[in-house]
Amino acid sequence: MATKASRSAARLMMAPAVILLLGWMLVPLIMTLWFSFRVYLPLRGGDQGWAGFDNYIRFVTSSAFWPSVQTTLIIVIGVLAITVIFGILIALLLDQPIWGQGVVRILVIAPFFVMPTVSALVWKNMFMDPVNGLFSHLWRFFGAEPVSWLSDASLPSIIMIVSWQWLPFATLILLTAVQSLDSEQLEAAEMDGAPWHKRFWFLVLPHLSRAITIVILIQTIFLLAIFAEIFVTTGGAFGTRTLSYLIFQRVLESQNVGLGSAGGVYAIILANIVAIFLMRIVGKNLD
């Protein structure tokens, strides 16, 4: 349907979005790459020349690096496991005929709309505070010693807060996928006497596999970058310093821009590895 005139008009209309995003991607990226090869300490002498690969080597050999990788992995895998498993269960439950389904759906989705700083602070103070938090009341009620959640069980606490924020996302997407499942197939299997766990394993789960993959990929990209939840709860203390938080500290807190930028390049490479898989799936869907 496209004429030559409409083609050039189309290109023109695309131009602002493309140029802006190109600038937004390239300018900071090139600057980060540049800084990562410099000895750059803005508060202690500024740009002091070429560093070669020193920053890259120093970043991975510093004592903070491997713990931060470990912390990142524990948080990402922990949150993924919780949100995917509970997301599937809740999606299957919400798919059943129930009274007040619309309201329950809203209740389940609500945490997604709470801004990260609010959910982090509410959990930190009103639930996890060792003196006045609800958990401490609950623990005392059962005669147990209250736990200093964010210092003594810091990683499980962060995983819990972040899982609470992301469970709605997983549930909603998995619910959408469950609803597109062919019910006749399931009924046929049921009539043939297939027990529920077999129906789940051989019919439901394969049908959900694509949605599960997408949930895992999208969440991984966002979870690698969680910031506010750590910033307002522990500030990176008590073993909660993730890779992105470590980079943030190198860049803005200790103002070692060269070192932080090298870390930033690592983070960009890591995110891109995940992104490639996501793009493949999304790309297939475009055809």
Partner 1 sequence: MARSVTPRRKLLNTTAAWAIGLLIFFPILWTILTSFKTEAQAIAAPPIFLGFDWTLENYRVVLERSDYARFLWNSIIIAGLSTLIGVAIAVPAAWSMAFVPSKRTKDILLWMLSTKMLPAVGVLYPIYLLFIQLGLLDSRAGLVVVLMLINLPIIVWMLYTYFKEIPGEILEAARMDGATLPQELLYVLTPMAIPGIASTMLLNFILAWNEAFWTLNLTAVNAAPLTAFIASYSSPEGLFFAKLSAASTMAIAPILILGWFSQKQLVRGLTFGAVK
Using CB under 8 A, which residues numbered 233 to 262 contact partner 1?
A: 233, 244, 247-248, 251-252, 257, 260-261
Q: How far apart are CA 91 and CA 176, in angstroms?
A: 8
Instruction: Indicate whether 191 belongs to the interface with partner 1 (CB under 8 A).
Output: no
Instruction: Indicate whether 96 belongs to the interface with partner 1 (CB under 8 A).
Output: yes
Given the complex with partner 1, which of 119 and 240 has the nearer CB atom? 119
Q: Is 26 exposed, middle or buried (0-12, 13-18, 19+ CB in 10 A)?
A: exposed
Instruction: Indicate whether 202 belongs to the interface with partner 1 (CB under 8 A).
Output: no
* Token pair of 186 as six digits: 């399931």
How many CB atoms are closer than 10 A to CB 260? 25
Amino acid, single-letter form, for residue 3? T
Single residue of 47, 62, 228, 239 touching partner 1 by CB under 8 A: 228
DSSP one-letter code for 181: S
* Token pair of 102 as six digits: 């619309």
Given the complex with partner 1, which of 48 and 125 has the nearer CB atom? 125
Q: How far apart are CA 259 and CA 247, in angstroms?
A: 8
Instruction: Indicate whether 221 belongs to the interface with partner 1 (CB under 8 A).
Output: yes
Helix (H) or strand (E) holding 177: helix 154-179
**β-bridge mates for residue 38, sequence order:** 50
Q: How far apart are CA 65 and CA 74, in angstroms?
A: 14
Show contacts with partner 1 in window 12-71 (CB under 8 A): 13-14, 16-18, 20-21, 24-25, 27-29, 31-32, 35
Single residue of 44, 53, 77, 125 touching partner 1 by CB under 8 A: 125
- Judge whether 244 and 37 are in contact, CB under 8 Å: no
Q: How far apart are CA 261 and CA 248, in angstroms?
A: 10
Single residue of 43, 45, 49, 100 touching partner 1 by CB under 8 A: 100
- What SS3 state is found at 1? coil
Single residue of 224, 230, 240, 241 touching partner 1 by CB under 8 A: 224
Single residue of 73, 107, 144, 205 touching partner 1 by CB under 8 A: 107
Single residue of 134, 144, 188, 205 touching partner 1 by CB under 8 A: 134
Instruction: Indicate whether 189 belongs to the interface with partner 1 (CB under 8 A).
Output: no
Instruction: Indicate whether 272 belongs to the interface with partner 1 (CB under 8 A).
Output: yes
Q: Is 234 exposed, middle or buried (0-12, 13-18, 19+ CB in 10 A)?
A: buried
Which stretch in 48-56, 62-70, 74-82, 91-99 sits in contact with partner 1 by CB under 8 A? 91-99
Single residue of 111, 130, 156, 239 touching partner 1 by CB under 8 A: 111
Which stretch in 47-55, 58-66, 113-121, 147-155 sits in contact with partner 1 by CB under 8 A? 113-121
